[in-house]
Amino acid sequence: MAKPYYKRGLIELFHDDCINILNSLPENSIDMIFADPPYFLSNGGITCKSGEIVSVNKAEWDKSNGFEKDFDFTLSWIKACRRILKENGTIWVSGTMHNIYQVGYALQKFKFKILNEICWYKPNGPPNLSCRYFAHAHETVLWARKNEKKTHFFNYEAMRDWEDKISPKGKQMRSIWHIPLTPLSEKTNGRHPTQKPLELLKRIILSSTKENELVLDPFNGSGTTGIASIMLNRRYIGIDKEEAFLKTTIKRINSL
C-alpha cells in the first residue's frame, strides 16, 4: 500500500489517482464510502455566483470526455469501491442529472442494493440565467448497500432526533434534505469549486456509521468528509490527485 501524503490521528490522506489507492487497500476493510465524483459540468457555460455571472468550468477533471469514456470512469471507481467495502458496508454518491444516472446504473450493474435516493434541496441555490429552464435547486445523493443479503447499519434514532430539531413534530427523517449551500465560514482555509456543506456530510456519516468505524472518500476535495469524520469520532481515508486540495484539507484539520 502507498505511503500516506499526510497522517494524523484518525486521518490518512493520499496524493494519487483514486483507482491506484483503492486497488491497494485491503479487501472488505471500509465501513462507509462517500463519493463526490466529477459531474462533468465544465462545458463552457455560465452561472450566477454571489450575484455575478461566472463560468461553470471547474477544471480539467470536471470536463466530459464523451459518454463512453465518462461511463468507463464511473464503472472503474465504483468497481474499485465495491471491493474494499465490508459486506455490510454502504456507499453514498452525490450528483446531478449530468452524472447521477450513470452512477445509479453502475451501482446496480455491480449488484449494490440502492437504499435511498436523497434530494438535497438548496434553498439558496443560484438562478437560471438563460430563463429557458427551471432553476437547478437540488442535487441527488444515492445511498446503496454492497450486499443485498446483509443488514446495513442505520442510526434511526439519531436521524429522528435530528429531524425533531429541524421540525419538532416527532416525525421520521424524510428523503428531502433542506440544506443551504456551503457557507463562507467553511471556506476560510481555502476553497474547492464543488465543496459540500458540513451539515450534509455530518448527517450522512452519523446516519450510517458507528464511532471508530472507517470512512473513505475517493474524491477528497477540500476534505469536508474528513472534517465531519473527525467531529464524529470516525476514522478517515481521503484520496485526491490535486495536492492543493490536500493542503487545504490539512489547514482545515489543523484549525479544528
- The Cα 256–Cα 181 span in angstroms is 21
* Mean pLDDT of the 204-209 span: 98
Which pLDDT band, with edges at 50, 70 and 90, does 192 fall under? confident
Quick: pLDDT tens for 97-106.
989 999 999 9
Q: What average pLDDT does this structure show over 202-227?
A: 98
In the predicted model, is pLDDT for residue 62 greater than 90?
no
CB atoms closer than 10 angstroms to residue 172:
9
Q: Please state which CATH number belongs to domain 6-149+177-254.
A: 3.40.50.150
Work out the pLDDT band at 43, boundaries 50, 70, 90: low
Rounded Cα–Cα distance for residues 151 and 45 (Å): 44
Q: What is the pLDDT of residues 114-154, one digit of tens each?
A: 999 999 999 998 888 788 989 999 999 999 999 999 999 99
Query: Does the pLDDT value for residue 58 go beyond 70?
Result: no
Confidence class for position 55, pLDDT limits 50, 70, 90: very low
Give residues with Cβ within 8 angstroms of 214, minimum separation 6: 29, 30, 31, 32, 234, 235, 236, 237
pLDDT per position as a tens digit, 67-94: 899 999 999 999 999 999 999 999 999 9
User: Is the pLDDT at 50 greater than 70, yes or no?
Assistant: no
CB 89 within 8 A of CB 33: yes
How do the domains of the chain map onto residue ranges?
A: 6-149+177-254
Residues 18-38 have pLDDT tens digits of 999 999 999 999 999 999 999
